[in-house]
Amino acid sequence: MSYGLGLSEKKQARQRRNRFFKFILYIAILGGVGVYGYYEGQAQADRQVADIQDQVIILTAENDRLNDQTRAALDKQSAALAEARQWRDKFENEIPSGPTREILDLVQVRLSEGLEPERLKNLIGLAQNSQNCDPAPETKRFIVNTPIFNSPGNSVSLGKGSITVTGNGLSVVNTQNQVEAWYDPNQPVEITFTQLGGKEEKMKGVLPLHKSVVFGGDEYRFSILSGKQSFATISATRCDFP
């Protein structure tokens, strides 16, 4: 009995040792797995950090490239604005305005009408501030026609018959809202200047009106004023031209 009991104890002791060694092996395996996982995680983290650093480098380079493009675009914009200011200053300095522009426009009109350039140059060269004019203007009155009153004798001749003047206006409306035969001096009128030979010039506006007409070697300076009912008064001053 004692022998069998001894064998049983030895077997149990051997089993305990085996279980102990298995436990130690299990702990060792777990430790190894943990160490491997730690170092593998560390390596993966290092790879991620390296990837992020590479991305940062790429993004930094792209940002620098975009900044360079932005600076280049701003430089081009500044250059374009400077060039635009130069053209504006050149336009303002070289393109005539005011009376000079009006004179150039008139020159272009007369040339388009067939006036010879040499003739125009001579006239400009002969022009001067002092002028020889008649001492007193010629003054007459004429009837201004309206839509409901048109007199065949409403014209007036000036400059020894060289220029005929006629006028048309709008009828006046009385306090009863009725249209009268005579013209309304507060509304625009149309004045027609007909030179001997049939050439006409017109002007339109509210009286008083002023206009110069050149006929041959004479310049006639007209002033048209409102007169008594149905009438307008015109005065013409003759001056040598040019």
Q: Where are the domains of the chain?
A: 1-95, 132-240
For 15-35, write each residue's pLDDT tens digit: 777 777 777 877 878 777 777
CA distance 83 to 104: 28
Cis peptide leading into 208, omega within 30 of 0?
Answer: yes
Query: With 80 as the cut, is the pLDDT of residue 167 above it?
Result: yes
pTM: 0.49
β-partners of residue 218 are: 215, 240
For 39-51, write each residue's pLDDT tens digit: 777 878 778 887 7
CA distance 216 to 242: 10
Query: With 60 as the cut, is the pLDDT of residue 223 above it?
Result: yes
Cα–Cα–Cα angle for 197, 198, 200, rounded to 5 degrees? 130
Q: Report residue 169's pLDDT band, with 50, 70 and 90 as the boundaries.
A: very high
pLDDT of residue 125: 67
Q: Report residue 208's pLDDT band, with 50, 70 and 90 as the boundaries.
A: very high
Q: Quote the percentage of the chain above a pLDDT of 90.
A: 24
Query: With 70 as the cut, is the pLDDT of residue 6 above it?
Result: no
